[in-house]
Amino acid sequence: MTATRGTFITGIVFLGAMAGLLGGFNLHWSREPVFPLYGILIDVLAVPALIYVLLYVRRLKVAATDEFAQTKKRLAAQTGIVIGFGLFAVSGIVPMIFPDAYTSFIGTLDGAHEGFLMGRVLGMAPFVLGLIVGQVVVWTKYR
């Protein structure tokens, strides 16, 4: 732990501000009839700088956290992904085991758009649950 948490947070804020400004300006320029030349020049200069700052902030993050914190985060992430895939697989089996319930559920959806939204939510939910389980596992192991 050779950097303070404050330095890391400052780095994150700076990176966020830089990315936000660049994104905002690009959005503004892309709405103009022709993407301005100075915008392209700024992008060419700013994107490498943004990548450099991103890598630097990553180094700050490693320097600001000690090995125990990293171990906890790694365990939480690994557990979360495994549990997430497990739950995702289980959710895929549900229509095979309960075909009637599945069919009636699909029938309640109001068209393809709602089906698409429901699919996005249900596809993401196991992984969100997995991440929560990962945090709980770490908390119970190291509390």
Partner 1 sequence: MNNRLKVLRAERNWSQADLADRLKVSRQTVNAIETGKYDPSLPLAFQLARLFEMRIEDIFTPE
Question: Closest by alpha carbon to 106, among 84, 122, 87, 125?
Answer: 122
From residue 113 to residue 142, what is the string marking binding to partner 1 with x (rule CB under 8 A)?
A: ----------------------------xx
Q: Is 110 helix (H, G, I), strand (E, B) or coil?
A: coil
Task: Pick the stretch among 45-53, 62-70, 93-101, 105-113 that binds partner 1 (CB under 8 A).
Answer: 62-70
Residue 104 contacts partner 1 per CB under 8 A: no
Residue 9 contacts partner 1 per CB under 8 A: no
Q: Using CB under 8 A, pick the residue from 32, 67, 100, 110 that binds partner 1.
A: 67
Inter-helix orientation angle 37-64/5-30, to 10°: 160
Q: Using CB under 8 A, pick the residue from 4, 10, 30, 71 that binds partner 1.
A: 71
Q: Is 22 helix (H, G, I), strand (E, B) or coil?
A: helix
Kindly compute the dihedral angle of the four CA atoms of residues 80, 82, 85, 89, in this order, to the nearest 10 degrees.
Answer: -130
Number of residues that bind partner 1 (CB under 8 A): 9
From residue 22 to residue 61, what is the string marking binding to partner 1 with x (rule CB under 8 A)?
A: ----------------------------------------
Residue 68 contacts partner 1 per CB under 8 A: yes
CA distance 28 to 131: 36
Q: Which residues of this protein are in contact with partner 1, per CB under 8 A?
A: 1-2, 66-69, 71, 141-142
